[in-house]
Structure 1
Amino acid sequence: MGSLSLSGKISIVTGATRGIGKAIAIQLGQQGAKVYITGRTLSTQDGVCLPGSLEETARDILRAGGGVCVPIQCDHSKDIQHLFERITAENDGRLDIFVNNAFSENDILLKERGKPFWEQSLNMWDDINEVGLRNNYVCAIYASKLMVPRKNGVIINVSSAGASMYMLNPAYGIGKAGVDRMTADCALELRKHNIAFVSLSPGPLSSDTLMALSTK
Structure 2
Amino acid sequence: MTRVALVTGASRGVGHGVATALIDAGWIVFTTSRRGDGPDGATTLACDHTDDSAVATVFERIVADAGRLDLLVNNAWAAPKGFGGFSDRFWERPVDDWDTLIGVGLRAHYVASVHAAQVMVPQGSGLIVNISSFGSRGHLHSVLYGMSKTGLDKMAADMGTELAGTGVTAISLWLGLIRTELLLSLGVDEFAGFSLQRAEDPRFVGRVIDALASDAQLSAHNGDTLVTAELGARYGITNDDGTPPDSHRSAFGGGPLFPPAG
Q: 1:90 to 1:168 in 2, by over 3 A?
A: same
Cα distance in 2 for partners of 1:158, 1:168 equals 16
Q: Deviations over 1:102-121 (max 9, x none)?
A: 111264432x8432211210
- TM-score after normalising by structure 1: 0.79
SS at match of 2:98: helix
Q: 1:174 to 1:210 in 2, by over 3 A?
A: farther
Asked if the contact 1:156/1:198 (under 8 Å) is kept, the reply is yes
> In structure 2, what is the equivalent of residue 65 of structure 1?
none
> In structure 2, what is the equivalent of residue 18 of structure 1?
12
Q: 1:28 to 1:113 in 2, by over 3 A?
A: closer
Higher-helix-fraction structure: 1
Q: Deviations over 1:90-147 (max 9, x none)?
A: 123x11111000111264432x843221121010111211111000001000000000
Task: Tell me by how many angstroms 1:210 deviates.
Answer: 10
Moved more, 148-157 or 33-42: 33-42
Map 1:1-216 to 2 at 5 A: 8-42=2-36, 53-54=37-38, 57-58=39-40, 62=41, 69-79=42-52, 80-92=55-67, 94-105=68-79, 107-110=81-84, 113-207=86-180, 208=182
Cα distance in 2 for partners of 1:113, 1:178 equals 19
Which letter does structure 1 place at the counterpart of 2:3?
K
Cα distance in 2 for partners of 1:109, 1:174 equals 17
Cα distance in 1 for partners of 2:75, 2:91 equals 28
Cα distance in 1 for partners of 2:156, 2:185 equals 28
Asked if the contact 1:158/1:201 (under 8 Å) is kept, the reply is yes
Cα distance in 1 for partners of 2:184, 2:153 equals 21
Moved over 4 A (4+): 209-212
Cα distance in 2 for partners of 1:136, 1:105 equals 15
Task: Tell me by how many angstroms 1:206 deviates.
Answer: 3.8
Q: Deviations over 1:64-92 (max 9, x none)?
A: xxxxx211111112121110111121123
Asked if the contact 2:9/2:76 (under 8 Å) is kept, the reply is yes
Which letter does structure 2 place at the counterpart of 1:85?
E
Task: Tell me by how many angstroms 1:39 deviates.
Answer: 0.7
- TM-score after normalising by structure 2: 0.66
Q: 1:128 to 1:84 in 2, by over 3 A?
A: same
Moved more, 142-151 or 33-42: 33-42
Cα distance in 1 for partners of 2:47, 2:64 equals 17
Q: Percent identity?
A: 35
Cα distance in 2 for partners of 1:113, 1:104 equals 13
Cα distance in 2 for partners of 1:33, 1:107 equals 35
Q: CA RMSD in A?
A: 2.1
Aligned pair count reads 185
Cα distance in 1 for partners of 2:15, 2:81 equals 18
Q: 1:206 to 1:27 in 2, by over 3 A?
A: closer
Cα distance in 1 for partners of 2:102, 2:167 equals 29
Asked if the contact 1:108/1:124 (under 8 Å) is kept, the reply is no
Q: 1:113 to 1:33 in 2, by over 3 A?
A: closer
